[in-house]
A and B are shown apart, each in its own frame.
Chain A
Amino acid sequence: MSLPALSPGDFAPLSRGEVARGPSRPSLSYWRDAWLRLRRNRQALASLAVIALLLLATLLGPLAWRVDPGQTAMARTSERPRGWAALTVLAPLAPYQEVVVEPPPAAPAGAPLRAPEGLRLLGPATVEAVRLRWEPVPGAKGYLVYRSTSRPGGDYLGLPLGEVEGGNLVSFEDAFNLEPATWWYSVVAKDGAEGPPATLRVAVPAGIPLVEARTLDPAARPGDAVARPWRPLGTDALGRDILARLLSGGRISLFIGFTAPLLSILIGVLIGGVAGYFGGRLDQWLMRITDFVMALPFLLFMILFRVALGVGPGESGVGPMLVAMILLSWTGAARLTRGQVLQLREAEFVQAARLLGARPRYLLLRHLLPNTLGVILVSLTFAIPSAIFTEAFLSFIGMGVVPPTASWGSMCNDGIKTFLVYPHEFIAPAAIISVTVLAFNLLGDGLRDALDPRLRSVE
């Protein structure tokens, strides 16, 4: 490399400002910087959208979806989620008559029971009834009938529908909560022990019994198309609309989920702020109380408080639950705030302000509060899902919101009882709890990364 040519002008002194400083990174205010960071976090943004949607749905949803969440309908229990469709009105079935045959030939003593032969439908299969007929099994003293939603395998034949007493009785009518779906019926002969099953697959077409159709349209006749009120998420064991219950239950779950953390963090910030700001003996006492409350096992005392506040089983007591939650969960915020305030009190900019004669009120409002706000906001975002969790947990064990009042937790408690047969009743509230808590957790992660660089998870 050889030297470049320089002109005499190049050796003139360089005046200040002539030096080209490369563009420095722009300096941003704390909140603006935080917002920019959050905006870049796609997960957090999506979570924010989900939360907004949930709030909107629970606030306005019950106005738009005007189905009474408490209205039971015994004719439509445990319906699965289904799209809207008009149904054909069914012709009334002929009265059911049991089929009795001549007593079957006695089996040789000690011979094992055979599977029933010739299992078939007796008449059409409709949502009103499925009627079965089979050939008698030698030696049988009666028959057991099972129904399953999937092809039976192993020992599991499905829901036991009923028993037929007598080896010569060879028919069965199933009118229990039939839905348009494919069912597997199994019939087993018994004589003390049970024989092997015969299984029949039955497809039940959609339709609506005439009696029910007449309640919707008095002029309905067989073959007409009649629409039932739509239950997009199905119904629960009492025939209540799950969508309506989710929406109204969301009001309670989210109300608890927002109110309890807000109030408990407010109390915590006050106590922690006072302790940290004034210090000394007051601080010692307040922190001792905090330690004590922290040592209490949280859920045990939630339950204990509920009992102590006189809420019996079978009563909902949202109020007592809130009180207990607030009384037990302000400690985290108090410790956090105290630590922050202690740190900030010694910070140079606060010392400078104090030196300039700033009053405590001004110091608190102008310096201490804004600088703790970020940390507190983050802990709030994490407190909300944990409050929703607590509500769900307590309601699930029957210690929180109790049916008939709906909350997501109490709906789970209802749904789990029939979960093995009708999973949708449990899955809907469980999924919405999980999605809500997930959204808050992801938003909290994003906020923490954006607001509090010291707590930032090392990514």
Chain B
Amino acid sequence: MSLLGITGLHVEFATHGGVVHAVRGVDLSLEAGETLAIVGESGCGKSVTVQAALGLIPSPPGRITAGSVRFEGRELVGMAAREASRIRGREIAMIFQDPMTSLNPTMRIGAQVTEALRHHEGLPAAAARARAIELLERVQLPDARAGVDRYPFELSGGMRQRVMIAMAIACNPRILVADEPTTALDVTVQAQILDLLGTLQRERGMAIVLITHDLGVVARMADHVAVMYAGRIVERGTVDDVFYRAAHPYTLGLKQSMPRRDERARGRLEPIEGSPPDLFSPPPGCAYAERCPWAMRACASADPPLWEVAPGHGARCWLHHAGAAARRPAALSTGREMREGESP
């Protein structure tokens, strides 16, 4: 049994213009102590997936229409709010992309850091201050003793993200969900924050779900990777699987559009042409077909399954079909081929 297991998750948003199918059948699993990275362009549904799993999607307009989310075997979808909030913040904590806006501007840092502790563990006010200083020191906030009485606007972006992390680890969670934790920060600060996350993970044995669009961050932190596109996972596997044996054209495209240091790729960066489809009315076939240089007729009409090309390494692409061998590009890693009647 995995620590966190998501199966067949569907999330919809009812908006002014219609229903957006933001997440369309996502399966994920996370083992204790490991780091899972979810990668994809903005709007691909990666944040929505984890926020829905934690019950953080504002409803209305958001709604989980199908699927299950299990934490240590306990079903979170449809769980009573009171019980769910005992898991949230205590067992599963979350830090967000923008530390500028994710902290309450009118509340002192110390109070925000220990708020969850005081609520979940009934920590008395007197002890809370000491714990806040301790936590802030742990995340290496300079001058933590004065920091507890500060307001968020008095801190820099990097310091605020440290505060966010202190807040998240306050209750010693089993899982830390980090939603683009470094996107809003300076490059030098990014590295410090990632190091801090890594250290904390080793110390406490937390599992981390890292949401990012930065493949560099993925390579540095993750054990497993899930690549998302248009509300679906298009490829998943270990970091090595995804980086060295990419089995989906979209992953290849992502890699080619990323600057690299090795001499092999000193050429031009190649962006992926076009834009993701409108999720008001997702296409019937593969959502990436329109942008895919190797797209086939089948891609436009039939939805490919998440095909296990190697143990633990899956890709959602018709190019793995035995009939498409001639169309398959050399860069695409291959493994087990699809044949009629086989199961994924």
Residues of A within 8 A of B (CB): 1-6, 8-14, 18-25
Whether the Cβ atoms of A10 and B341 lie closer than 8 Å is no
Quick check: is B296 within 8 A (CB to CB) of the other chain? yes
Taking each of A2, A9, A23, which has the highest tally of chain B beta carbons within 10 Å of its own beta carbon? A2
Residue of A nearest to B279 (CB): A22
Whether the Cβ atoms of B282 and A14 lie closer than 8 Å is no
Q: How far is the CA of A278 from the CA of B344 in the complex (A)?
A: 68
Q: Which 8 A-B pairs have the closest CB atoms?
A: A22-B281, A10-B298, A14-B295, A19-B290, A11-B324, A10-B297, A11-B296, A11-B323
A11 interface neighbour in B284, B321, B340, Cβ under 8 Å: B321
Residues of B within 8 A of A (CB): 17-18, 277-278, 280-285, 289-290, 294-302, 305, 318, 321, 323-324, 326-327, 338-344
A24 interface neighbour in B278, B295, B326, B344, Cβ under 8 Å: B278
Q: How far is the CA of A14 from the CA of B293 in the complex (A)?
A: 9
Whether the Cβ atoms of A3 and B305 lie closer than 8 Å is yes
Q: Closest approach, in angstroms, between the C-beta of B8 and any C-beta of chain A?
A: 12
Residues on B with C-beta less than 8 A from A14 are 289, 295-297, 299-300
A3 interface neighbour in B18, B278, B296, B339, Cβ under 8 Å: B339
Residues on B with C-beta less than 8 A from A4 are 302, 340
Residues on B with C-beta less than 8 A from A2 are 340-343
Residues on A with C-beta less than 8 A from B339 are 3
Q: Closest approach, in angstroms, between the C-beta of B225 and any C-beta of chain A?
A: 24
B18 interface neighbour in A6, A13, A25, Cβ under 8 Å: A25
Residue of B nearest to A17 (CB): B290
B295 interface neighbour in A1, A13, A21, Cβ under 8 Å: A13
Whether the Cβ atoms of A19 and B298 lie closer than 8 Å is no
In the complex where A14-B299, A22-B280 touch, is A3 in contact with B338 (Cβ < 8 A)? yes
Taking each of A9, A13, A19, A21, which has the highest tally of chain B beta carbons within 10 Å of its own beta carbon? A19
Q: Closest approach, in angstroms, between the C-beta of B323 and any C-beta of chain A?
A: 5
Q: Could you list some 17 contacts between A and B, CB below 8 A?
A: A4-B302, A6-B298, A6-B302, A6-B318, A10-B296, A10-B297, A11-B296, A11-B297, A11-B318, A12-B296, A13-B297, A13-B327, A14-B299, A19-B289, A19-B300, A21-B277, A24-B278
Residues on A with C-beta less than 8 A from B297 are 9-14, 18
Judged by DSSP, the binding face of A is loop
Q: How far is the CA of A8 from the CA of B290 in the complex (A)?
A: 20
Whether the Cβ atoms of A18 and B343 lie closer than 8 Å is no
Whether the Cβ atoms of B300 and A11 lie closer than 8 Å is no
Residues on B with C-beta less than 8 A from A19 are 283, 285, 289-290, 295, 300
Q: Closest approach, in angstroms, between the C-beta of A6 and any C-beta of chain B?
A: 5
Residues on A with C-beta less than 8 A from B302 are 4, 6, 10
Q: Closest approach, in angstroms, between the C-beta of B332 and any C-beta of chain A?
A: 15
Residues on A with C-beta less than 8 A from B285 are 19-20
A13 interface neighbour in B17, B296, B321, Cβ under 8 Å: B296
Whether the Cβ atoms of B277 and A1 lie closer than 8 Å is no
Whether the Cβ atoms of A11 and B298 lie closer than 8 Å is yes
12 additional A-B residue pairs with CB within 8 Å, beyond A10-B318, A13-B294, A24-B280:
A1-B305, A3-B341, A3-B344, A10-B296, A12-B296, A14-B296, A14-B297, A19-B285, A19-B295, A19-B300, A21-B283, A22-B283
Q: How far is the CA of A14 from the CA of B285 in the complex (A)?
A: 12
Q: Closest approach, in angstroms, between the C-beta of A99 and any C-beta of chain B?
A: 78
Residues on B with C-beta less than 8 A from A23 are 281
Q: How far is the CA of A89 from the CA of B329 in the complex (A)?
A: 108
Q: Closest approach, in angstroms, between the C-beta of B77 and any C-beta of chain A?
A: 22
Q: How far is the CA of A21 from the CA of B281 in the complex (A)?
A: 8
Residue of B nearest to A10 (CB): B298
Whether the Cβ atoms of A20 and B300 lie closer than 8 Å is yes
Q: How far is the CA of A13 from the CA of B326 in the complex (A)?
A: 11
Residues on B with C-beta less than 8 A from A13 are 294-297, 327
Q: How far is the CA of A4 from the CA of B342 in the complex (A)?
A: 9
Q: How far is the CA of A277 from the CA of B338 in the complex (A)?
A: 66
Q: How far is the CA of A14 from the CA of B327 in the complex (A)?
A: 11
Residues on A with C-beta less than 8 A from B305 are 1, 3
Residue of A nearest to B284 (CB): A20
Q: Closest approach, in angstroms, between the C-beta of A22 and any C-beta of chain B?
A: 3
Residue of A nearest to B293 (CB): A13
Residue of B nearest to A23 (CB): B281
Residues on B with C-beta less than 8 A from A20 are 283-285, 300
Whether the Cβ atoms of B321 and A25 lie closer than 8 Å is no
Taking each of A3, A8, A20, which has the highest tally of chain B beta carbons within 10 Å of its own beta carbon? A3
Residues on B with C-beta less than 8 A from A21 are 277-278, 283, 290
Q: How far is the CA of A46 from the CA of B342 in the complex (A)?
A: 63
Q: How far is the CA of A22 from the CA of B59 in the complex (A)?
A: 26
Q: How far is the CA of A50 from the CA of B17 in the complex (A)?
A: 30
Q: How far is the CA of A264 from the CA of B39 in the complex (A)?
A: 56
Residue of A nearest to B17 (CB): A25
Whether the Cβ atoms of A6 and B327 lie closer than 8 Å is no
Q: How far is the CA of A9 from the CA of B296 in the complex (A)?
A: 9
Q: Closest approach, in angstroms, between the C-beta of A184 and any C-beta of chain B?
A: 57
Residues on A with C-beta less than 8 A from B284 are 20
Residues on A with C-beta less than 8 A from B343 are 1-3
Residues on B with C-beta less than 8 A from A9 are 297
Q: Closest approach, in angstroms, between the C-beta of A339 and any C-beta of chain B?
A: 24
Q: Closest approach, in angstroms, between the C-beta of B249 and any C-beta of chain A?
A: 12
Residues on A with C-beta less than 8 A from B294 are 13
Residues on B with C-beta less than 8 A from A11 are 296-298, 318, 321, 323-324, 326-327
Q: How far is the CA of A6 from the CA of B295 in the complex (A)?
A: 15
Whether the Cβ atoms of A22 and B277 lie closer than 8 Å is yes
In the complex where A6-B323, A8-B323, A13-B295 touch, is A18 in contact with B300 (Cβ < 8 A)? yes
